[in-house]
Structure formats: structure tokens, C-alpha cells
Structure 1
Amino acid sequence: MSNEAVFIYSDQLIKYRFSNDHPFNQTRVMLTYDLLKSLNALDDSQIIEPRIATDEELELVHDPQFIQAVKLAGEGKLPEETAQNYGIGTEDTPIFPGMHEASALLVGATLTAVDHVMSGKSKHALSLGGGLHHGFRGKASGFCIYNDSAVAIRYMQKKYNVRVLYVDTDAHHGDGVQWTFYDDPNVCTLSIHETGRYLFPGTGSVNERGAGKGYGYSFNIPVDAFTEDDSWIDAYTTAFKEVAEFFKPDVILTQNGVDSHYYDPLTHLSATMRIYREIPKLAHQLAHQYCDGRWIAVGGGGYDIWRVVPRAWSLIWLEMIEKSAIHGPLPQEWISKWQSKTSVTLPSNWDDEENIYPPIPRKVEIEEKNTLTVQKALYPIRSHNK
């Protein structure tokens, strides 16, 4: 028996946790899972337990010495100076116990999604614990230790011999994936992100087109700070359609960071929930048009974990199972269950209220220190109150 779509999930995914006050918080995966359960939109038969990626699989992208360093760090056995050389033990990517096992599980979850789609057990698969697109061959970066998407793409190439279109809609440039496949003509990367002039990692300009045989297979669309829905959707729709027509992929892998929303504390874009309806809708359409439906979706950024992430990520799953037209109030049982856990007021509705765009700031000051956690815009406090 096969499902049209499968949802990769385990409570163990929340073990990827840097600290209680770190902005990257995988509680958002649990919140999304619980919201879909409250809607009766996620059946137990659709839920697949992730496996842990093996060292051999991680080595498809990552240096063995880096993997060993991550293991030692998670055991408290890696000297601080050595850790810093590998990008761990930093402000953005601090060390935590069991970090190798937690990171390898996120990679394994994405590989579980890959195998279900590529073996024909399902057309679509969603692995919200993944999307850690800043990881490099020998270095962690920007909250990301292992790069699950890059490993998954190499895994698909090796095991299934396919051409992969990777589409990244995180507000931060998908640098780790792009550079991994920069000279590979069988992997096409498309990243739509806030311009690197203001935001980590500072890359993703339009002239990053690939190298050698891979020249012309890397596409970047940097958008300006405070870009709103209509402009964002137009750029996304035009680019994705044209790149898919050009590349004609065998499978589409989408990274679904949801930090372009105007509530997100780490970025400067002004999108609403509208774009998170359009993102999966077009991916679904093009997957059926070019790939016989083969579509793997992963998570990514998203730092307003209570108000934005569960709604936006739920819309991916609802699109996969063709229940995307859902509007109106959120389930009261979900709101009641989680409201006491947070100081922010949970949304009562699937869509943002009308006319709640923040005013264009009178002044934008962006700190120069090149880390995700400190790059913020200074603007008036935004509120739902009218």
C-alpha cells in the first residue's frame, strides 16, 4: 500500500537544540505536527519514522575529520580552538550534548523522505526537520551542522541516477547547497532570498551562475529588504517555471524556510501567509508536470516559531494531500494546548489579518557583525492591535 504523501516525523527531532534561548528551535516541528493532527489532516499511516544517517552517507558531502570533530564535540572531548576551526562552538552554532546523533537524525529523516519518493512508495514526502542549507564539507555554519539537502542530492545521484532541481525559498541564501554542486550540470539550484547586502551569509548575488560544466545551473534571485507579497510571488513564480522548463528535472527538492514573514525576528522581508500558500502550490504543479509527481520538501529557517512556522509548514502538507484551500479559524484545541507555553498570542486564523503590513520603517540600521543572531532591522514594534 502506498500513500500519495508521507510525513517524516519523530519526537526525537527536537533533540537538535543548541540552548533554551537560541533562535533555532525544533519545537516548531512538533507544533506543526500537532496542528495537523488537530485538523485530522495527518493519519498515522502517513507518518514515517526517520532513521539516522550513516557516516558513509554523511561522507557523500562531509569530510570524515569534520564528522569525527562533531562526534567529539557532542561528547565534550573537542578542544575549543579545534571546534572553532570547524565552525562549532560559535555564537550561531554552539556545541550541545549528542550533537552528532541529533544532526545525523535530521539527515536520515531527509534520506527517508528521498527513499519513499524515489522507490515509488509515495509521490511526495515532507521532512520538516531538514533544510539545514548552510552546512559545508568541513564546517558548520549558521545553525547548520550537517547539510541534509546536499547529502540527499548526492544520495539521489548515486542511488537513483537522477537530475535534481533544488529550490530554496528561505530568506537566507542557500549557500551550502549551491557551493556543493556549483560545478555539477546535473544539479540545478534556485535560491530566492533577501539580498546579502543586509543578511547572512552575504552571498547569493545574480552573478553566481556556477562554474565549469556547472556554469548556468545556479540561479539566484536576491530581493530587497521589506519586499512584500506581490513582488515576491511574481519573482518566485516566474523563476521557478522558467528554470524547471530549462532544466527538466527528474525530481524536485524544495527547502521551505519560512523566515520571509514580516514577524520573523532575524530577517527584513515583509511577506505574509499568502506566499506560503503559493510556494507549495507551484512546487506541486511543476513536480507533476516534469517529474511524475516526485517532490521532496524539507524545512529550514523560521524563527517566529509560534505564530508563523506551524501555519506555514502545515500548508505544505495540506497541499501535498490536496487540502490546500483551508481558511478560517485554527483549531481551538491546538490554541488551548500551546498558548500557556508561550508569551506571544497565538494566531486564531489561518491567514494573517487584512491590512497588517508594518509601516515602512523611517530608518533601517543593520549591524555589521556577520552572524545571523545579531542581524536585525530597527523598526517600530509591530502588533496585531489596530
Structure 2
Amino acid sequence: MDVTLRQLLDFVVSAPLRRGKGRLAAWRLRCRLAGKGLLAFFLSIGRDIPVTPCDVLLVHPSRKSYEQGRKGPFLQALRAHGLHVEEFVEESDAVLISARQFVRPAKPVPFLLYWHAAHAAFLLQRYRAKAVLSERNGWIVPSFIKALRTEGMRVMHLAHSVPSGQSSRYDYFDYDYYLMFGRSSYDYLSSLGEAFGECCAVYAGPYYLTDKKETAWHGPDNRRTPRLLFLGSGPDYEHAESYQQYCRWVVTWLEQHQDATLSVKPHPRGQGYPWLDYAVSCERIALLPAGESLEQCAGHFDVVLCGYTNAVLDVARAGVPFVLLGEGEDYFSVARYGLPRSFVESQLAPCIENVLSEPEKMRERLFEFLTYHICHSEKPVESLVDSVREVTNASGPAGIRLSAPARGY
């Protein structure tokens, strides 16, 4: 058996212990993997899969991700360059079972990881692709695609966020190429003491930003009222006390500044709570239409207020200053670039005042912040397409080697 696959098995089964969940959780994981492996073994018997040749296979991480359509412009650009792109949606375990999306691997694999290996063999047999694009963090199927492939297929991972300590799934990066936004991503991943994999880190993307900026920020105008934008939280946090608290901070600030207006952009999956109620009682609070993207609207405002979110990258790209609200770890190195952050209510007014009074200084800091996080902020989609085209042309984009530290699990 491949030594790398043995190491992968050790990495997977030791995850509960590394994350402090205890030995009982580790044994439960082993039992669950064994059950799924046995099921995949029987489902993989006698499979006859029709082959679909293509240049690129994009594996969507979920049905929800596929239906959101955020990779549409990227896919359109690939096809515009003459590449044949096939799309595959990773469904729930129940769908994988009912559709029998498993094929017996051609090489020995760890039995506890048979589910993942047989699914990788299914993808390899169904598609003859030059490049496989994955997106789901922590998904170990790419390791088996690399181990079982017989042709020049290469695995490229598409980052959809800046990796940080907010998730433990970034500790897996066993790809051929990892298409990450910029230097901050490499710095974080290379600092991980416990991780698995090796790859070539390439700065490209993100795919959800267009190559042409929709708006350009012109800075605050002292002759008009300040216009603020608040970014709403997702459904998991809308009712959290911490989120409700800094929503009240903003409302209080607005009451004290009668010349200002506030627009709220609800999260795409959120319900707009509690801003729907606030908008009823205050005519200077308005919710933006659901179909308006942050990229389209950000440049129309003087300041953006938000909690810790990847959306600050969209805001920074538009050149609009933002004020982060609430406590928590500084995952994006905001303090490093001198950008404002309000930990308590009393800090909010000075933060907003500093942004409005020193627009040029804020622009300079924003540019440095954005450059650290996104290398190709002007042409993110083009940078991704160029990287994929190089792989399909049997070459490869230049990058930096990223390897997990050698250690036993």
C-alpha cells in the first residue's frame, strides 16, 4: 500500500484526538468509517460506468453551492477559451449510495478509507479529465485521485475564502495545485503544526469577484450626509446575543447622528433580523434589494460596518473603508494594517469619525491589506483561467511549494 495513504489514514483517524474530543470520539469515527467502507465495497461490485472525456472536471462541494451559481463567470471564461468543462455535484451520502457512485479501486487502499477511495475511482472512471477542480475543504478524495490516476490528470483546489483558525478543515491540502488568493493564505497554511499533504501554492482568484470592478469609491463628500452600509449576518448568527449587541451599537450611533443614513445588506441566506424591525421605526434605515451584490453596491457608501467576515475582502477591493464590530480573534490581520475595529460600543463613534476624516490614509491602508490577502485583485477570474489552461496544456503554473511538517500521528 502507498505510504502516503497510510499516513493519510493516521491523519484522519487521529483527528478527534488532535482536536481534543477524546478517545471515545476517535473510536466512533473508526466504526463509522468501517461501516461506510464496507457499504462502499459492496456497492462498487460490478459497476459499468460510461466514460466522459473532458478538459476540466469541476466538482461542486454541495448541491447548495451548485445552485448558488457563484462560479458561473469562471466557468463561462473557461469555456470561452475553448475548454470542455464537465460539472459534478457532491451530494449527500444517501444520494451517493442510491446512485452507487463507487468503483473498486485498482490499487490497495486503507479499508477505513474505502468509501473515499471507491468514490475517487468512480470519478476517475466516469471522467477522463486533464484537470480536476475541487473546492470542499477537508475533502480527502483528492489524495485518492492522485494515488489511483493512470494518466496526466491533475488536482487543483479552488479556495473560496482566506484560510484561518475559524475552521479546522484547512489542515488538509494534498493537491497538485492549491489556487489560493494570496500571501496571507500561504503564510497561514505553512504555519500549521499539524496538517497533511503537499502541493504547489499558486496565487489566483477568487472566482466570485469579477475582473471588472462594478463600482469605484470616490470618498466621503462633506457636502452631503454620511452614507453607511451594514452587512447582515447569516442565519446561524442572526439571533446570537453578540450580533444583536453590535446591531444595537449601530442603531444608537445613528440616533446620535441625525444627518447620517444606513443601508443594510442582509446575508443571502439570512432573514434580515433584527433590521426589518429597526427599519420600520426609523426612516433612515433601509434594506437593500436581495438581488444586489456587495460588489455592485459597496462603492456607493462612505463606510461599511460588519462583523468578522470574508466580505471585508470585497469591500476592500471596492476601496471602501470598513469598521469591524465585536470581539474575537483577528483572523485577517486587520490590526496589522491599522484598520479600525470597535470592540465595545464607545469605540464605534471614534472609528467612524476617523474613517470619514482621513479617507486617503484609509485608502492606502486598505490597498496594503487587500494586496496581502488577494494577489490578483484586478483580474481574479483571469488569473484562475490562466492557471487551469496551463495545466490542460500539459505544463503548470509557477508557484511555491507547500508541505505539511513531517510528524507521526
Judging by fraction of residues, say which structure has more helix: 2
**What is the TM-score when the length of structure 2 is the normalising length?**
0.25
Instruction: Name the larger-Rg structure.
Output: 2
Judging by fraction of residues, say which structure has more strand: 2
